[in-house]
Amino acid sequence: MLLPGALYFIVFRYFPMYGVVIAFKDYSFNDGILGSYWADPWNKHFLTFIHSPYFGQLLTNTLLISVYKLLFGMLPPILMALLLNECRIRWFKSLVQTLTYMPHFLSWVIIYGIVLALLSQNSGLVNHWIEEAGGQSIPFLTSTTYFRSLLVSSEIWQNLGWGAIIYLAAMAGIDPTLYEAARVDGASRLRMIWHITLPGIRSVIVMLLILRLGHMLDAGFEQIYIMYNIQVYPVADILDTWVFRTGLQQLNFSLASAVGLFKAAIGLVLVLVSNRIAKRWGEGIW
Amino acid sequence: MIRTPRMFRLMAVMLLASGLTTACGSNEGDSSDAPASGSGPSPSAPSDSASPSADSGKVVKLDIIETGNNLPPPDKDFIKRELDKALHTDISLTVYASGDDYKNQLNVRMASGNFPDLFMVPDRSTLKQYVQQGLLLDLSPYKDQLKAAVDFVGEDSLKKTSFDGKVYAIPKAPNIPYNTYWIRKDWLDKLGLQPPQTIDELLSTAVAFTEQDPDGNGKKDTIGLTGSKLSAFAPVFGAFGVGNPGDFYLSGGKLMNSLYEPGMKDALAFINKMIASGSVDPELMANTGLQHQEKAIKGQAGIVWIDWPNLSKDQFTEQIEKVNPNAEWIQLAPPKGPGGQNDGSFDIGGSPGIYAIPKALEKNEEKLRKVFDLLNYVSTKDGSNLVQFGVQGRHFNLEGDKVVPTDLMAQEAGFTWLYQFTGRPEKSYLQVKFEKQASFIDFADKQPRIQTLNGFLMTPDGYNAADANRYIEEETVKFAYGKRPLSEYDAFLSTLETSMNYKSFLDSAFQQLKELGYGN
Amino acid sequence: MGGRHMVRGTEERVFQIVVAAVLSLCGLAALFPLLYVLSVSLTPFSEVLRNGGFILIPRSITFDAYRKLLTESNVPQAFGVTAFITVVGTLLNLAVTSLMAYPLSRKQLPGRNLFLMLIVFTLLFSGGIIPTYLVVKSLGLLDSVWSMILPNMVWSFNVLIMKSFYETLPEELFESARMDGAKEFRILARIVLPLSVPVTLTIGLFYAVGHWNEFFQAIMYVTDRELFPLQVIVREILIQTQQPLENAENMTPTETLQMASVILASLPIIVVYPFLQKHFTKGMLLGSVKG
């Protein structure tokens, strides 16, 4: 049974894995990945980014944005799923479910366009209202004060309905007899959510959390790359955007690979540790 | 469980349907309608182009990749058809809309030995890397065979693609500058103002546009000046006799970097004054793509730093008129300042595109010859006219030497630039393709500009241009916005030189430019 | 489910009102921006500009942008390609993924933890684009639809999800089936899959949406324009306004056209969702499969 999948993983995932060595080499097209010379010193490409004057800032920004997105972004889809699950009006549930699912299909370019229409300082709707009400317009896009909130909230918005899908599927798998029994015992809605629904989706939550931790240093390249500008770099520039800009100047295989390896190694540690912790509660991926 | 089979049936139906769609699609592709093939005299046989190979009729497939967009499908691509006919080739051009996608594609193809026969090199650094790794064919020994192409782009241009005296690529014929300030004439009239001639007038006009309700809607909802990032102030830098931050150029015969010119500090001080006056787009630094153009067209801003196509092409004049029939945009000569009058800077080292041939093609003489034929053909009269204007008799007619466009040119021949592998004689070309805009083209071209040399430079090893550029941009913006006092300008320079390694870049840059014969 | 007959009516009603109110807010938050996209796609661009760029209810409607996309571009062709890779790809994905997930969900599988770790590992580490391209090339997949399907045949993430759902199925079911002499394939087909409709559809949706939004592999592995999927075309339209002027004669796509391309490219996959939803809510009665 495992064979087709295993074959896939070997051919398309593990076989190309030798490519990671270019993080330690000076890549040459003619010699290929394996034939290229080792970088001197071996960690040259790692030093390139560790020695960047911006390294500290990049790492802080990456971690902060990622942690914020995790902290504030994890819960809303779960709540959304709970609410949808409790909603008894079929058509309404379906409508909201579909509506909140749609933003997932808007690319960040489009979302940024919408953000501009709402928040732009001279023509945005929100600033228009603020000014009508006699207030001062707020530089949402160019001020370091608001930018991270903007990143986090626009991602939550985009992901609300999409993220809820998986929890809804998990809720659908909960044995209905549990609810029947609770109802007979006279349990309230909230109690049933707390004692039946949430435990029923606990393993999914834990697993998503562990996998999310593995991507701790991915703060959302595409979103930030499209939304940031020079005035918010101090709070918005992350490892990936830096690699991208640096790569524009030179062929960046080795540098990109080194940064990727760095990110993945930290992710791996986080996954291993969190999986071990989860196991104590009888959860975890393996 | 009862549901599942129905799901599968549904999917099977979708599958079939999709199969049919693709099948229909490709059928359509095959039965090409070929509207233009009969009309007009076909481009002459290759023998009377400059190409030396009037040889066998064997069709050679050429695989070409570059960035670009709006390439029609092969059956509607009349340029491909005509080129194939003239050269006995089967040209397969693939264009990539995103420069990043293109770079990825190019790199994997280079890495896998799946070389295109002719390709655009994204920039000079990439060119350098490819040259160092021996991926590109040294064209110097073939200069005779490429004579038409070399003559077309100008022998001197080859400097841009030469390393150690060897030519590794063909740069397109040089560009001309497009950018100027544009200003709302009707707003000036309404407020009884004249077009600003000095930077002080520029400032007072911008303030008037912001404060005095030039659109007469009773609301203070207009801004004076917009543009994209710091470049919106290019003519202001120019008025202080300096290029944009970080530019290299000759000043009085001496090589200079703009950051080290005394005028730079004064320029930043003046820009700070403009920004402090509240007449500059508060989101100037966040304007990417065409946001500044949109603000101009919407009637939010009265002065914009922009290229003529984006404000004067029919597509946009139509929009401008629909938004406000009275709106009238005119170009503005660069305002004068203490350092003279310069409409920003123009990079003479830049090229609108560089095309190279992989070294691997050396062994395939037949193909190589066809690539040369192609480059020569698009550089000589018939071929050049084809890739500039389209098919003679359909898209244009010749009256003597003068190209007279037909109505179809604007409709159908918008993509032909994708085949201009050696470029085009920019000005005469634009004057034909954009008859209505001819005066704007001419105006932009004629403005005095600082001729910068950045395009010739390559970054030395160990210098991360991304970090330095970020620092330069970030700090100059802080100076401009008054977030950092100009008294710290020297501290800024010394951090740049040390932490950002700018000193090594400066030394290397001056060295490189001297080797190319600039400065002394 | 179906608690109509419940006695505590007021509490239930209050609860439902709160739920509906919060959901309405979420729905509206999603609706407004989408309405904006739709309205702009239907409004002549000059009208959009005249309104300062923000339109929620179009006053004059035009289908020009849609007409242009459907007749003057590769959209219909690309739609076929996308539909093909989505349908075929998703079916293959689901087959291979559930085949993997089932054994991995059984605790008695030897080396199970190692397999799982190896799968998680690929979520974090990858060889990069060059070696992957070389594999695709050496398999002769360049310039074929399969290059957009096979390299992403299994998503590690989806295997893990599916496996964790299968784990919640009670062990007794499998034991009794084995006692009856059922082979593992039969157990998967007859017991596991029917009991896992919600998760199968969910994972199917994830895969389908992934295929539908596919552009990267297309750009990497395909040079034949006839094989470009929808998103490559949309991307081409969207990206032009993000980049500096490449050529004077380039026609910049208007925002109307951009939004229309977004709508065209996402509507088909969006309308699939409501049809899947009812399957999510069907609580699976264990008894229902026994018969």
Nearest to C251 among B74, B94, B315 (CB): B315
**Residues of C with CB below 8 A from B26's CB?**
226
- Residue B441, phi then psi, degrees to nearest 5: -60, -45
Q: Whole-number mean pLDDT of chain A?
A: 91
| Helix ranges restricted to H, B413-464 | 426-433, 438-446
- Digit-coded pLDDT (tens) for B281-331: 999 999 988 899 999 999 999 999 999 999 999 889 999 999 999 999 999
Residues C80 and C60 in one domain: no
CATH 1.10.3720.10 correct for A54-280: yes
Burial of B442 (0-12, 13-18, 19+ CB in 10 A): middle
CA gap B249, B258 in Å, rounded: 8
State percent of chain B over pLDDT 70: 89
Residues C160 and C174 in one domain: yes
pLDDT at position B31 over 80 = no
Q: Where are the beta strands (DSSP E) in chain A?
A: 25-26, 37-38
Residue A113 contacts C, CB cutoff 8 Å: yes
Residues C222, C80 share a domain: yes
Q: What percent of chain B has pLDDT above 90? A: 70
Does position C289 have pLDDT exceeding 60, yes or no?
no
pLDDT above 70 for C283: no
d(CA C288, CA C291): 6
Out of C29, C36, C202, name the one closest to residue A117 (CB): C36
CATH number of the domain to which C191 belongs? 1.10.3720.10
pLDDT of residue C108: 85
User: In this model, does residue A253 exceed pLDDT 90?
Assistant: no
Q: Is the pLDDT of residue B5 over 70?
A: no
pLDDT at residue C282, rounded to an integer: 55
Chains contacting C (3+ CB pairs below 8 angstroms):
A, B
Q: What is the predicted pLDDT for the residue at B310?
A: 93
Token code pair at residue B448: 């005095």
Helices B438-446 and B426-433, interaxial angle, to 10°? 150
Q: Residue B58: what residue type?
A: K
Q: Are residues C17 and C115 in the same domain?
A: no
**DSSP 8-state symbol, B173:** P
So what's the pLDDT on residue B2? 36
Question: Which of C226, C254, C281 is a domain's end point?
Answer: C226
Q: Are residues C114 and C198 in the same domain?
A: yes
Residue holding tokens 């015969």?
A: B253
Per-residue pLDDT at B56: 53
Residues C20 and C164 occupy one common structural domain: no
Residue C13 in any domain: the answer is yes
- How many angstroms separate the CA atoms of B233 and B181, rounded? 9
Exposed, middle or buried: residue C268 (CB in 10 Å: 0-12, 13-18, 19+)? middle
Average pLDDT, stretch C222-239? Answer: 89
> B283 vs A120: CB contact, 8 Å cut-off?
yes
Pairwise CB contact (< 8 Å): C288 & B98: no
pLDDT tens across A19-66, in order? 999 899 888 888 888 888 888 888 888 998 899 999 999 999 999 999
Q: Is the pLDDT of residue B23 over 70?
A: no
pLDDT tens per residue across span B462-506: 899 999 999 999 999 999 999 999 999 999 999 999 999 999 999
C185 in the same domain as C45: no
C83 and C55, same domain (yes or no): no
Is the CB of A32 inside 8 Å of chain B's CB atoms? Answer: yes
Contact A118, A129 (CB under 8 A): no
Whether residue C285 has pLDDT greater than 80 = no
Task: Check residue B341 and give left, alpha or beta (phi > 0: left; psi -120 to 50: alpha).
Answer: beta
What CA–CA distance (Å, rounded) separates C231 from C214? 6
Report the complex ipTM: 0.91
Residue B192 gets which letter from DSSP? T
pLDDT higher than 80, residue A183: yes
* pLDDT score at B349: 86
The pLDDT of residue B9: 45
Q: C266 — contact with chain A (CB < 8 Å)?
A: yes
Q: Is A278 on the interface with C (CB under 8 A)?
A: no
Q: Quick one: DSSP state of residue B423? A: -
pLDDT of amino acid C171: 83
| Start-end of H helices in chain C | 9-42, 45-50, 64-72, 75-105, 112-124, 129-138, 156-167, 171-179, 184-187, 193-195, 197-212, 216-221, 230-239, 255-281, 286-290
C38-56: average pLDDT: 85
Angle (CA) C113 C116 C120, round 5°: 135
Higher pLDDT, A243 or B47: A243
* Mutate: best of A84, A110, A227, partner C, most C CBs <10 A: A110
Is C208 a residue whose pLDDT tops 90? yes
**pLDDT for B48:** 40
Q: What is the pLDDT of residue C246?
A: 67
**Each residue's pLDDT tens digit, C241-256:** 776 666 787 777 888 9
C232: in domain = no
Q: Mark whether C87 and C205 lie in a shared domain.
A: yes
At B3 the pLDDT is 39
Q: Tell me if A172 and C11 make a contact (CB, 8 A cut-off).
A: no
Taking CB atoms and an 8 Å limit, are B286 and A141 in contact across chains? yes
Report how far residue B143's alpha carbon sits from residue C151's, in angstroms, rounded to the nearest whole number.
Answer: 44
Per residue in B238-249, pLDDT (tens digit) is 999 999 999 999
Report pLDDT for C252: 79
- How many whole angstroms separate alpha carbon B116 and alpha carbon B102? 13
Residue in C closest to B300 by C-alpha: C52
Q: Which of residues 138-167 of C touch B (CB under 8 A)?
A: 142
Residues C263, C137 within the same domain = no
Residues 432-491 in B contacting C (C-alpha not used; CB under 8 Å): 433-434
- Per DSSP, helices labelled H in A133-252 are 147-172, 176-184, 189-192, 198-214, 221-227, 233-236, 239-249
pLDDT at residue B275 greater than cutoff 60: yes
pLDDT of residue B22: 38
The pLDDT mean for chain B works out to: 87
Domains and CATH numbers, chain B: 42-175+352-421 (3.40.190.10), 178-342+445-520 (3.40.190.10)
C233 lies in some domain: no
Q: Do C78 and C221 lie in a common domain?
A: yes
C69 to chain B: which residues are within 8 Å by CB? none
DSSP A146-157: THHHHHHHHHHH
Polymer length in residues for chain C: 291
Give domain status of residue C231, yes or no.
Answer: no
pLDDT for the residue numbered A89: 87
The domains of chain A are located at: 54-280
B30 pLDDT higher than 70:
no
Instruction: Please report the pLDDT score of residue C203 as a whole number.
Output: 94
Q: Is residue C234 part of a domain?
A: no
Query: C36 to chain A: nearest residue by CA?
Result: A114
Contact A242, A60 (CB under 8 A): no
Split into its structural domains, chain C has a count of 2
> Do the domain assignments include residue C286?
yes
Per-residue model confidence (pLDDT) at position B14? 42
Contact partners, residue C258, CB within 8 Å, separation at least 6: A110, C237, C238, C241
C20 token code pair: 């509906």
Position A97 scores a pLDDT of 92
Residues C183/C174, Cβ–Cβ less than 8 Å: no
Reported as a single tens digit per residue, the pLDDT across A265-276 is 999 999 999 999
Interface of B with C in 167-186 (CB under 8 A): 178
State whether A141 and B465 contact (CB < 8 Å).
no
C226, C255, C270 — which closes off a domain? Answer: C226
| Beta carbons of B257 and B243 less than 8 angstroms apart | no
In B, residues 217-236, which contact A (CB 8 Å cutoff)? 221, 223, 229
Against chain A, the chains showing at least 3 CB pairs within 8 Å are B, C
Any domain includes C249? yes
- The domain containing residue C181 runs over which residues? 73-226
Those chains having 3 or more beta-carbon pairs within 8 angstroms of chain B are A, C
